[in-house]
Amino acid sequence: MVEGHSVHRIATQHTRRLCGRSYKASSPNGRFAEGARLINGRSFSRIEAVGKNLFAFFAAAGQPDVVMHVHFGMSGRWSVEDAAKAAPAKDTTRLQLEGHGIVSSLSAMTVQHGGVEMFEKKRAELGEDPIRADADAEALWERVSRSKKTIGLLLMDQGFFAGVGNIYRAEILFVASVHPNTPGKALSRAEFDRVWAASVKLMRRGYEEGSILTVDKAEALALGRPGLRRWIYNSAKCGRCNGRVASWDVAGRTCYACAACQPLDPSESLEARLAQPAKLRVAELREALTAAGLDAGGKKAELAAAGESRAVEHVAEWEVGLDGAASGRISAGFLPVFHKFFIFCTLLLCIKIIQGRLLQASSGPGGLAGAEA
């Protein structure tokens, strides 16, 4: 897929070479015949890039503009060549512009025409483009913070982040230290700001360099890997920590994450969440209760209540057997040292068991597959 930085580069190049002139327009393969007829002889007045979309405007005195919408798809191309050296049109060439000593040929997945209203409608459907100067990060935050979709899905949704493709998704989230499976509404403002800042930085670098380069040169040199271009995309090992990169399918596209550099919930340790069982996932609650030899059946509220009743830090009284007979209550502060030590070891064992399970889940495709919450 032609990603947003490349589309912006084409817009800049064609502004310089094509805009401000009129051309003879034709559709060699006949798939844009009506559009070519309307464009023919008009002045190519301007071109705009929004995400992965191009909008070319053709003007004529006293008449409404004709707008051509282009989406390149996986392998589209819009070339500009000297007329004397131009190659013949191909079967995929939808539009050809000729004049002023040049020939420009367009092949793309989508080429359609309409008026300014078409442009305005499609522009409204697209999200914020990190390369554009008019991008509104605040408006994007308002939408992302209300979404149940994961940030990995939202970055690929052109209605949210316009121009981001699969390579950029992997690299942006790595640079931002955010896990792809984090729901939008679970992102802190600081995390969102890091995602947006990385989007702007990396995509504008791609626009300037003409290639997706996501590793800062200084850090690549410091790591002793001056040729490192990307951190985790299509890689088995993390370029920064050398840990394993997990990959899994999300909506038909491969998603990537380094479990060490992009923890799913870096804000709270497992130990902190164990002290507040309501924050644990159902699987974690069952694991903790089972490890403690307690009933792990029931709904989350019941499991959490059971977990709360067994949280050592918050228990005021414990039931202990007295000589195998009737039970009595004594304050936890007066428990024998042996009982305190036994409770501590049991809780520590539970924590270690769950940590091992979570680490195994977060580093494997199966444990990372939950796209929406």
Per-residue pLDDT reduced to its tens digit, 62-120:
999 999 999 999 889 999 999 999 999 999 999 999 999 999 999 999 999 999 999 99
Per-position DSSP letters for 181-211, written without gaps between them: TSBGGG--HHHHHHHHHHHHHHHHHHHHHSS
Range with the poorest average pLDDT among 10-24, 28-42, 190-204, 356-370: 356-370
Domain assignment present for residue 9? The answer is yes
Same domain (yes/no): 238, 343? no
pLDDT band at residue 275 under the 50/70/90 scheme: low
Per-residue pLDDT reduced to its tens digit, 208-223:
999 999 999 999 999 9
- Considering 226-235, 271-280, 355-364, the range whose residues carry the highest mean pLDDT is 226-235
What CATH number does the domain containing 105 carry? 3.20.190.10
Per-position DSSP letters for 104-148, written without gaps between them: EEEE-SEEEEE-HHHHHHHHHHS-B-TTSTT--HHHHHHHHTT--
Which tokens is 312 given? 């050592």
Same domain (yes/no): 236, 188? yes
Same domain (yes/no): 105, 193? no
Same domain (yes/no): 65, 143? no
Domain assignment present for residue 352? The answer is yes
Tell me the C-alpha distance between 289 and 359, whole Å: 19
Tell which of 213, 235, 258 closes a domain. 258
Same domain (yes/no): 93, 114? yes
Q: What range defines the domain where residue 290 resides? A: 270-368
- Which H or E run contains 270? helix 270-274
Beta bridge partners of 25: 97
Distance of CA 278 to the CA centre of its chain: 28
Domain assignment present for residue 132? The answer is no
Domain assignment present for residue 70? The answer is yes
C-beta neighbour count of 102 within 10 angstroms: 18
Same domain (yes/no): 304, 356? yes
Say if residues 102 and 83 touch (Cβ distance below 8 Å): yes
Tell me the C-alpha distance between 165 and 158, whole Å: 9
Distance of CA 62 to the CA centre of its chain: 45
Per-position DSSP letters for 46-65, written without gaps between them: EEEEETTEEEEEEEETTEEE
Q: What is the pLDDT of residue 120?
A: 98
Q: Are strands 95-99 and 24-26 parallel, antiparallel or unpaired?
A: antiparallel
DSSP label of 79: E
Residue 316 has pLDDT above 50, yes or no: no
What CATH number does the domain containing 201 carry? 1.10.8.50
Tell me the C-alpha distance between 207 and 336, whole Å: 68
- Count of the separate structural domains present in the chain: 3
Domain assignment present for residue 264? The answer is no
Tell which of 229, 258, 287 closes a domain. 258
When the pLDDT of each residue in the chain is averaged and rounded to a whole number, the result is 83
Distance of CA 304 to the CA centre of its chain: 32
Domain assignment present for residue 301? The answer is yes
Same domain (yes/no): 224, 317? no
Per-residue pLDDT reduced to its tens digit, 132-145:
999 999 999 999 99
Tell which of 105, 125, 145 closes a domain. 125
pLDDT band at residue 368 under the 50/70/90 scheme: very low
- Which H or E run contains 283? helix 282-291
Same domain (yes/no): 120, 164? no
Q: Are strands 77-82 and 102-107 parallel, antiparallel or unpaired?
A: antiparallel
Domain assignment present for residue 88? The answer is yes
Same domain (yes/no): 166, 232? yes
Average pLDDT over residues 329-345: 47
- Those residues with Cβ within 8 angstroms of residue 176's Cβ, 6 or more apart along the chain or in another chain: 191, 194, 195, 197, 198
Same domain (yes/no): 282, 253? no
Distance of CA 242 to the CA centre of its chain: 22
Domain assignment present for residue 131? The answer is no
Same domain (yes/no): 35, 101? yes
Same domain (yes/no): 333, 231? no
